[in-house]
């Protein structure tokens, strides 16, 4: 049992023991730079010092939750802004939820499906964005304590998994939730021949040898006809099933062949987060389901570009002896298509939501304008000493900045591996050309103002300099940020940068999770739960009972069904 902290009397860091965080502004320069550096370092050093390889020396435990029936929950992408994270945690911690007249008890098992912290992993970030809010939502319990398991996502890996293992793999309680796992992957035996397995693929990589050996040990208890619920860090089935990259799904297919199919069992449900929406694909001629539910707290992602069907495993799969080909149809999504398209148009608020991004585009446009003006002035000047080649050389700064823009545009358009093709290349080039065109057009306007409108002499020169140094970052920087918004909206409708069109908005509403039940007959029912509006005002409850949440919402949270209940049998 944990040493209980006194109940807070105010929503302050001193009283709570953690600092409630705002939602991450993903296009803020500081976040872009720090996340990029962390991602690059983790990707490079992760190949040489893979923490998964070192976990073979840690205790190996097969967890068991066996009984007549079991309620358990799945949430993912939880550790972002406090309002969204705590709203979801409050629903998960509630003793029960009532949806359409049905009472759904709190899960005795909670699985966090990846990206438990944003934007990067650290012990302090976990405390402020995950542990603190979840401890506040469920400080303790009056009966049996629920158990929390966590699977790392890419953001958990940004510090090499160090903080994740400290938080989730040392069997320390988080408020009223106990933790049992000792590694970054786990298996739980469930009632009536069901199994819950969660594999750690690092940055969408292979399954390492110690992990594979762990699951081979687990598989000795699996019998023919058993049903498996497989949790993965990302919904690899969408890219692979829609004709994109097969690398991530090949790892799943390999695991299925080596661990599950080898014992005569079958993966009946695959669960993932990573993409911050709800998408349910149902097997066309069978009873298997693929579900993405990354609505635990992070910004909302679009759904209007989801493929209507998936064919798995893909014909391009490199796995020997793959599963028989199967078609899956998109059965439900949240938000719906109309809402998703409407939310996407909110990208035009980009400069206001991310003033740091406005400053970034303003700075870049100022540099580009100065470079173009230098080339224009040198070309138009009547200076015979410079000669032809000297005037050409004066365009070197502008050409250099332009090249950076072109490569930046290409890299940005190809950031999603599913779309690394001619379409993304064309989009990246057009995006870069638009920014260059804006700079050139503005530079020509400045020259025209200087020569035709502003007075001659020092007054005109100082006026021109003021326009360039102040007007460019404020006005042209704003226009340039809106140009990025136009690109994102158009590109997303072509299936490019679909994630980025929503990331810049940091939409905190429209959250959710899965509440699941294995009944006495062994039938699994999945209840997708949504919360259309998160709470943004909280008050401390210093006189509450020890097991009651520390903070109360200003208005009651109103959960509802996100999709019809999904019934799954082992066969």
CB 279 within 8 A of CB 81: no
CB 28 within 8 A of CB 356: yes
Does residue 371 surpass a pLDDT of 90? no
Return the sign of the alpha-carbon dihedral for residues 204, 209, 213, 219.
positive
Distance CA 210, CA 200 (A): 11
Q: DSSP secondary-structure letter at 424?
A: H
pLDDT tens-digit readout, 259-302 = 999 999 999 999 999 999 999 999 998 899 999 999 999 999 99
Q: Residue-wise over 423-454: b if at least 16 C-beta within 10 A, else e?
A: ebeebbeebbebbbebbbebbeebbeebeeeb
CB 525 within 8 A of CB 565: yes
pLDDT tens-digit readout, 186-212 = 999 999 999 999 999 887 778 888 999
Does residue 168 surpass a pLDDT of 70? yes
Triad 38, 43, 46: Cα angle to 5°: 110
Q: Which residues contact 97 (CB under 8 A, 6 or more apart)?
A: 91, 103, 104, 515, 529, 559
List the alpha helices (DSSP H) in 296-354: 337-344, 350-353
Which tokens sit at 393? Answer: 């050389």
pLDDT band (50, 70, 90) for residue 75: very high
When pLDDT is averaged across residues 479-506 and rounded to a whole number, the result is: 88
When pLDDT is averaged across residues 495-501 and rounded to a whole number, the result is: 83
Is this prediction's pTM over 0.85? yes
pLDDT score of 54:
74
pLDDT band (50, 70, 90) for residue 2: very low
Which tokens sit at 303? Answer: 């759904």
Q: Give the DSSP H/E element, type plus range, for residue 267.
A: strand 266-272
Tell me the pLDDT of the chain averaged across its residues. Answer: 88
| Least trusted range by pLDDT, from 51-65, 395-409, 494-508 | 51-65
pLDDT score of 1:
44
Q: Which residues contact 237 (CB under 8 A, 6 or more apart)?
A: 249, 252, 270, 281, 290, 310, 312, 328
What are residue 349's DSSP bridge partners? none
Distance CA 256, CA 252 (A): 6
pLDDT score of 446:
86
When pLDDT is averaged across residues 335-359 and rounded to a whole number, the result is: 90
> Using alpha carbons only, how large is the chain's radius of gyration in Å?
27
CB 218 within 8 A of CB 187: yes
Q: Is 396 helix (H, G, I), strand (E, B) or coil?
A: helix
Does residue 28 surpass a pLDDT of 70? yes
pLDDT band (50, 70, 90) for residue 381: low
List the alpha helices (DSSP H) in 381-395: 387-393
The closest alpha carbon to 293, from 88, 536, 70, belongs to 88
Q: DSSP secondary-structure letter at 110?
A: E
CB 305 within 8 A of CB 279: no
Percent pLDDT > 90 in the chain is 57
pLDDT score of 245:
80
Secondary structure (DSSP) of 237-254: HHHHHTTS--HHHHHHHH
Which tokens sit at 155? Answer: 């953001």
Distance CA 174, CA 164 (A): 13
CB 275 within 8 A of CB 293: no
List the alpha helices (DSSP H) in 394-528: 396-413, 422-448, 458-466, 477-493, 498-503
């Amino acid at each position: 049992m944990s040493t209980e902290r006194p109940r807070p009397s105010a929503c302050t860091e001193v009283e709570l023991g953690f600092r409630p965080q705002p939602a991450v502004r993903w296009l803020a320069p500081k976040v872009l730079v720090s996340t990029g550096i962390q991602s690059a370092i983790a990707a490079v050093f992760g190949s040489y010092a893979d923490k998964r390889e070192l976990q073979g020396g840690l205790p190996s435990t097969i967890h068991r939750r066996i009984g007549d029936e079991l309620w358990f929950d799945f949430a993912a992408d939880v550790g972002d802004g406090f309002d969204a994270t705590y709203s979801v945690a409050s629903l998960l911690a509630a003793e029960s939820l009532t949806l359409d007249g049905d009472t759904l008890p709190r899960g005795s098992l909670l699985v966090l499906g990846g990206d438990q912290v944003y934007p990067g992993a650290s012990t302090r970030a976990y405390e402020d964005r995950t542990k603190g809010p979840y401890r506040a939502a469920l400080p303790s319990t009056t009966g049996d304590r629920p158990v929390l398991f966590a699977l790392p996502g890419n953001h958990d890996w940004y510090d090499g998994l160090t903080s994740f293992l400290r938080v989730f793999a040392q069997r320390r309680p988080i408020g009223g939730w106990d933790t049992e796992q000792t590694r970054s992957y786990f298996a739980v035996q469930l009632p009536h021949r069901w199994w819950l397995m969660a594999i750690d693929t690092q940055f969408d990589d292979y399954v390492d040898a110690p992990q594979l050996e762990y699951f081979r040990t687990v598989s000795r208890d699996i019998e023919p006809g058993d049903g498996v619920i497989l949790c993965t860090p990302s919904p690899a089935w969408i890219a692979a099933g829609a004709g994109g990259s097969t690398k991530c799904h090949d790892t799943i297919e390999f695991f299925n062949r080596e661990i599950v199919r080898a014992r005569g069992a079958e993966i009946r449900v695959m669960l993932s987060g990573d993409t911050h929406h709800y998408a349910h694909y149902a097997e066309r001629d069978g009873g298997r389901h693929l579900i993405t539910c990354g609505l635990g707290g992070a910004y909302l992602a679009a759904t209007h570009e989801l493929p209507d069907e998936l064919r798995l495993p893909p014909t391009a799969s490199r796995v020997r002896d793959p599963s028989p080909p199967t078609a899956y149809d998109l059965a439900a999504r949240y938000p719906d298509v109309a809402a998703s398209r409407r939310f996407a148009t909110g990208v035009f608020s980009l400069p206001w939501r991310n003033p740091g991004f406005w400053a970034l585009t303003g700075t870049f446009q100022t540099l580009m304008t100065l470079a173009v003006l230098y080339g224009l002035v040198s070309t138009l000047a009547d200076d015979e000493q410079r000669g032809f080649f000297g005037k050409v050389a004066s365009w070197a700064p502008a050409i250099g900045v332009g090249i950076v823009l072109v490569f930046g545009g290409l890299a940005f358009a190809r950031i999603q591996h599913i779309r690394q093709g001619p379409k993304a290349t064309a989009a990246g080039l057009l995006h870069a050309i638009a920014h260059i065109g804006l700079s050139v057009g503005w530079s020509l306007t400045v020259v025209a103002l200087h020569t035709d409108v502003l007075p001659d002499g020092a007054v005109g020169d100082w006026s021109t300099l003021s326009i360039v140094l102040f007007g460019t970052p404020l006005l042209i920087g704003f226009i340039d940020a809106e140009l990025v918004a136009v690109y994102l909206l158009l590109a997303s409708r072509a299936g490019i940068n679909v994630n980025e069109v929503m990331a810049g908005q940091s939409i905190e509403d429209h959250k959710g999770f899965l509440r699941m039940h294995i009944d006495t007959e062994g039938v699994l029912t999945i209840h997708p739960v949504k919360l259309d509006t998160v709470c943004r005002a909280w008050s401390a409850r210093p006189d509450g009972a020890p097991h009651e949440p520390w903070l109360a919402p200003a208005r009651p949270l109103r959960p509802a069904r996100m999709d019809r209940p999904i019934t799954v049998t082992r066969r």
